[in-house]
Chains A and B, each alone.
Chain A
Amino acid sequence: MSSTFDTIANIIAETCDIPRDSITLDSHAINDLGIDSLDFLDIAFAIDKAFGIKLPLEQWTQEVNDGKATTDQYFVLKNLSARIDELVAAKGA
């Protein structure tokens, strides 16, 4: 996960001009880092390209809106890293 986290932290730092050292495993992309939905599209695009996956943003959003998940599950960076690792593993399975 740490290398996944480093990759997405670097993407966030570069895409949103956020100091890299302020981005931690426990950072919430929306609540702590202030990333809005449009900037998150840029981040999702960069993540999709970097990992060869398709982040299921719409599914996640729907789950949050339906009360089946919290934003923490997808947007706290340690959790986002874990979700990405799962997607990468599923792709290679």
Chain B
Amino acid sequence: MRLEYFQLIDRIVDLNLADRTISSEAMVPTTSTIFEGHFPSYPLMPGVLLIEAMAQTSGWLVVALNRFARMPFLAAVKEAKLRTFVTPGQKLTINAHLAHDGSGYAITEAKIKCGGKPICDATLTLRVLDFPSAELGQRMREIADRIGLQVEAPANG
């Protein structure tokens, strides 16, 4: 996780365009100023960042499915459940499934596990819009390369 850049996903470990699923990994850093405040002497990964990790993983799935034609933005979070605490140094596995591909929006169902144990889950709504700038599209491709998102791969690849 690059918490200071709000880039929470370290690596895409699986992408299945045919099934419209994605799996990513994210290592919670052992140190961060966030943990100095949340909470003093009792560091916990904030729940909103867990939701953001699910949103980012969902976003990469949508980007992969539309092959960087458009950009997803988080619009709604439903049925979010934060089931247990996450502490510094834990490795998270984040899975998302595209439940619905609407006109200008997408619905995903996402969940996080740690060591096979359910951490949290939610249903997310993403607005899917044209890239507001060519530069953003290029920067997103660079991030995708860094985390191993293979968008040029054929379906099911």
Interface residues in chain A, defined as those with a beta carbon under 8 Å from any beta carbon in chain B: 38, 41-42, 44-45, 48-49, 54-59, 61
Contact = CB atoms under 8 A, between A and B. Distances in A.
Nearest to A40: B105
A41 B75 contact: yes
Contacts of A44: 102-103, 105
A48 B125 CA distance: 14
Determine the interface band of chain B, counting residues with CB < 8 A from chain A.
10 to 19
B104 A58 contact: yes
Contacts of A49: 100
B103 A56 contact: yes
Nearest to B129: A58
- For the residues of A in contact with B, the DSSP-based class is helix
A35 to B, nearest CB: 14
6 contacts: A38-B125, A42-B125, A45-B125, A54-B103, A56-B103, A57-B103
Nearest to B128: A58
B102 A57 contact: yes
Contacts, number: 36
Given A38-B76, A41-B125, A57 B100 contact: no
B107 interface: yes
Contacts of B105: 41, 44-45, 57
Contacts of B76: 38, 41-42
Contact of B107 (A45, A56, A57, A61): A45
Given A44-B103, A45-B102, 9 more contacts: A38-B75, A41-B75, A41-B76, A45-B125, A48-B100, A54-B102, A54-B103, A57-B105, A59-B103
Interface in B27-86: 75-76
Contacts of B103: 44, 54-59
Interface string B101-145: 111110100000000000000000101000000000000000000
